[in-house]
Chain A
Amino acid sequence: MNTVIQVLILGILLGGVYALMSSGLTILFGVMRVVNIAHAAVIILAAYFTFFIWQWTGLDPLLISLIAIPTFFLFGATLYVTLFPRLEGSPRFAEMTVLLTFGLAFVLEGLMAYFFTGIFRQTQPAYLTEAFRFGPFYVPAAQLYALLASLVLLIALWAFLNFTHTGYGIRATMQNRTAAQIVGVDVRRASLISFGVGIGLAGAAGALFSFVFPFFPARHWQWIAILLSLIVAGGLGSLKGAVIASVVLAIVSAYVSQYLGPVWAPMVFYAALFLILIVRPQGLYGKVRRI
């Protein structure tokens, strides 16, 4: 019984980080219909950003995440202004963004491999090997801090979307782009800010990722497959769906890893994806779109 509860604790801890990683991706799709295949590559880039700042300054990765958010917000806004206006108005916008961001993922991977080499990296703050004990259970400190940081950022994102004027505009654009235009939302500005926020979240996620998982440039392909599974299972464009799917599937994968072996854990995400596409194609909280 203790093992069951211990695995549950570890699953929840990982689920929080997955939720932060997938939240940016689902916002990009929800607001702009951009399927960002390069999202995990940006997370890995942010992990390198964190790694080198940590190595040079010794600053805690949790603090570096506060630097990563505005830095990657600006990176995202620049990417948006540079790459996406040309595609707007295309009847195949969503498909074009898949190709564009697929190419972007290769470019980022190539640049990272060139400058940072392909060896495994991981930031190693002092608490990486520490754990809190609660009776028979232990909670790894690094994963607990990553979960708490993810929760803080997700709550901040929720507050931004629900209590600010710009957040209202972004939510409106996510739910009904034409209606948002009709009530006066400048949807291009909303898209620019959303892209910045989505990539900024990837930046923060990368900072946490840097000490939770070892990484190298090509690692993003494995992660983008998992992240896409999470946001499709949650319902494309649904922040709530992405968070719930992340936590639930992280817990299930932790059990699979414990009882069937770690090699089977990634299968949970793909199996869930197949299952949900058969049973509920719009995902947990997705909308059925009228044609």
Chain B
Amino acid sequence: MAILEIQGLTAGYGSGPDILTGVDLEVEEGKTYCIIGPNGAGKSTLLKVVAGLLEPRVGSVTFNGAEIGGKRPDIVLSNGVCFVPQDGSLFPEMTVRENLVMGAYLTRDRAAIAERLDEMMDLFPILGERSSQMAQTLSGGEQQQLLLARALMIRPTMMMIDEPSLGLAPQIASQIFEVIRSLSADLGMTLLLVEQNVRMGLAVSDWSFVLDLGTKRFEGPADTVLDDPRIRDLYLGKLARAVEGPR
């Protein structure tokens, strides 16, 4: 049963050209999906449209049967869809604790917020140690953990995470992906990832969508998609095959 359905989605920025053209995809509940593709494929744009940060020009986005395409981000969030953007989306002059509280902005129940704060401090111990520090003083890895924790404060049904390893040292990136894996394995959360580090992204995913130039080229199981020769064409271009010669 698909929890997220995107049909014929076309979108772009301002009066500029279409970045996404006629994209269709379905996401099933409780599974992890990785969207891969070369730079400029429209991966992040796709997440922004689902999150309500960008209006679709054509097409529909339904979540749990409700149309969320073109709805405000707070309405999308109240439907259970949470977006973790690339770096730079913390509140730099708020403390770690205040950033976490902001994650539960749609929740008015103070007891529930306090309980979730404790949960996040347990899940990300470093945030507990830094709770009274300003977010801008955290390292890159700590900021990424704070972004994930902030998104979890609302207890979303589905999380969309854009480039979680961006700018992180490999060891820190591995830790972040361990957390992402546990969100799916332990909490049963539906996850939609965009990740440039394709191997890392696919390693935690069940299924993969491959985007190129704003359209979905193909999709398949995450553990076999890298074997598809079309992936080599997308990332390395036809030149690579010409150099290697026919197989």
Tell me the A residues contacting B by CB distance below 8 Å. 89, 91, 165, 168-169, 171-172, 175-176, 178-186, 287, 290
Q: Which of B100-141 contact A (CB under 8 A)?
A: 101-103, 105-106, 108
Residue contact A184 to B74, C-beta cutoff 8 Å: yes
Q: Which of B57-80 contact A (CB under 8 A)?
A: 72-74, 77-78
Residue contact A176 to B77, C-beta cutoff 8 Å: no
Do A172 and B73 form a contact, CB below 8 Å, given A181-B53, A184-B154? Answer: no
Residue contact B91 to A169, C-beta cutoff 8 Å: no
Contacts of A169 in B (CB 8 A): 105
Please tell me the number of chain B residues within 8 Å of chain A, measured between CB atoms.
Answer: 28
Set A165, A171, A181, A287: member contacting B74, Cβ < 8 A:
A181
Residue of B72, B88, B91, B150 ringed by the most chain A CB atoms within 10 A = B91
Cα A89 to Cα B72 in complex, Å, equals: 14
Cα A287 to Cα B90 in complex, Å, equals: 14
Residue of A nearest to B89 (CB): A179
Overall SS of chain B's interface? loop
Set A175, A181, A186: member contacting B92, Cβ < 8 A:
A175
Contacts of B89 in A (CB 8 A): 176, 178-179, 182
Q: Can you list the 8 inter-chain pairs with the closest CB atoms, starting with the nearest? A: A181-B73, A179-B89, A184-B74, A184-B106, A184-B77, A175-B91, A184-B105, A183-B105
Residue of B nearest to A178 (CB): B89
Do A183 and B150 form a contact, CB below 8 Å, given A165-B108, A176-B89, A176-B90? Answer: yes
Contacts of A168 in B (CB 8 A): 98, 101-102, 105
Residue contact A176 to B14, C-beta cutoff 8 Å: no
Q: Does B12 contact A (CB under 8 A)?
A: no
Residue contact B53 to A178, C-beta cutoff 8 Å: yes
Set B74, B77, B82, B91: member contacting A179, Cβ < 8 A:
B91
Residue contact A178 to B85, C-beta cutoff 8 Å: yes
Residue of A nearest to B93 (CB): A175
Residue of A172, A179, A180 ringed by the most chain B CB atoms within 10 A = A179
Cα A290 to Cα B51 in complex, Å, equals: 22
- How many A-B Cβ pairs are below 8 Å? 65
Q: Min CB distance, B172 to chain A, in Å?
A: 21
Q: A181-B73, A183-B150, A184-B74 are in contact. List 8 more A-B contacts (CB 8 A).
A: A172-B102, A175-B91, A176-B88, A176-B89, A178-B89, A182-B82, A183-B105, A186-B74
Tell me the B residues contacting A by CB distance below 8 Å. 14, 51-53, 72-74, 77-78, 82-83, 85, 88-94, 98, 101-103, 105-106, 108, 150, 154
Q: Jot down 9 A-B pairs with beta carbons below 8 A, ordered by A.
A: A89-B14, A91-B14, A165-B105, A165-B108, A168-B98, A168-B101, A178-B85, A182-B73, A184-B78
Contacts of A176 in B (CB 8 A): 88-92
Set B51, B92, B150: member contacting A287, Cβ < 8 A:
B92
Q: Min CB distance, B102 to chain A, in Å?
A: 5
Contacts of B108 in A (CB 8 A): 165
Set B83, B93, B94: member contacting A182, Cβ < 8 A:
B83
Contacts of A186 in B (CB 8 A): 72, 74
Residue contact A172 to B74, C-beta cutoff 8 Å: no
Cα A182 to Cα B81 in complex, Å, equals: 10
Q: Min CB distance, A3 to chain B, in Å?
A: 40
Residue contact A172 to B53, C-beta cutoff 8 Å: no
Residue of B nearest to A238 (CB): B93
Contacts of A180 in B (CB 8 A): 91, 102
Residue contact A183 to B85, C-beta cutoff 8 Å: no
Residue of B73, B77, B78, B103 ringed by the most chain A CB atoms within 10 A = B73
Residue of A172, A179, A181, A182 ringed by the most chain B CB atoms within 10 A = A182
Q: Min CB distance, B175 to chain A, in Å?
A: 23
Contacts of B83 in A (CB 8 A): 182
Q: Min CB distance, B209 to chain A, in Å?
A: 22
Contacts of A91 in B (CB 8 A): 14
Cα A165 to Cα B91 in complex, Å, equals: 15
Contacts of A185 in B (CB 8 A): 74, 105
Set A89, A171, A181, A184: member contacting B94, Cβ < 8 A:
A171
